[in-house]
Amino acid sequence: MMGKVAFSLLLALALVTLGVSSGRKCVLSGLWKNELGSNMTISAVNADGGFTGSYHTAVTATDKHIRVSPLKGSQKPTSRRKEPTFGFTVSWTFSNSVTVFVGQCFMDDKGKETLKTMWLLREEVSSPGADWKATRVGTNIFTRIK
Ligand code: BTN
C-alpha cells in the first residue's frame, strides 16, 4: 500500500506536469503601464481564455481629447499557463481607429512580469487611394503596476 507522503508527492508531480499548480505563472489580469505612459486594466481571464478591460492611452495620432477606451481579448492556452500568449483589440471611443495588440506574458527569475507586444493601429481614411497610410505598426512593453 502507498503511504500518504508518497501519494501526496505523486499527486503534486502529476499536477506540476499538467501545469495545474506550482511554479510562478504570468497572469494577465491587473493594472499595467507601458513605456509611453499608457495604462491598461485587464479583468480576470475567464474559462474560455476571454478577458475585457480598459485602456488609457498617453498619446494619440489625432487632435482629439483622449478618453479611456474598452478592450477585449483572449489568451492561449485558455487555462493559466506559465507564459501565455494573448491578443486584444482596443476600440477607441474618441476616434474612428482600432488597435490590435498581440503578445506574450513573460516572467523573469525574480517573478517580475512583462507583456511584450506588437500592435497595428488602423485609422479611417477618406478613400482607397489613402489606404497606404492608414496603418501604423509598433511595439509596446508593459510592466505591472498592481
Ligand atoms: C488614436 O490615436 O486614434 C487612438 C489612440 C492610439 C494610441 C496608440 S495604440 C498603440 C500605441 N500604444 C499606446 O499605448 N498608445 C498608442
Confidence of residue 21 (pLDDT cuts 50, 70, 90): very low
**Ligand 1 and 119: CB distance under 6 A:** yes
**Ligand 1 and 117: CB distance under 6 A:** no
Task: Report the pLDDT averaged over residues 45-54.
Answer: 96
Q: Which residues of 84-117 are buried (b: 16+ CB within 10 A; e: fewer)?
A: bebebebebeebebebebebebebeeeeebbbeb
Range 54-62 contact pairs with CB under 8 angstroms and sequence separation of 24 or more? 55/90, 57/90, 57/92, 60/94, 60/95, 61/95, 61/97, 61/121, 61/123, 61/136, 62/94, 62/95, 62/97
pTM: 0.86
Q: What is the pLDDT of residues 116-138, one digit of tens each?
A: 999 999 999 999 999 999 999 99
To test the ligand 1 pocket, which listed residue (32, 55, 57) has its Cβ within 8 A of the most ligand atoms? 57
**Ligand 1 and 137: CB distance under 6 A:** no
Q: What is the pLDDT of residues 78-115, one digit of tens each?
A: 877 799 999 999 999 999 999 999 999 999 999 999 99
Q: Mean pLDDT for the chain?
A: 89
**Ligand 1 and 39: CB distance under 6 A:** no
Q: How far is the centre of ligand 1, averaged over its atoms, from the C-alpha of 59 (Å)?
A: 6
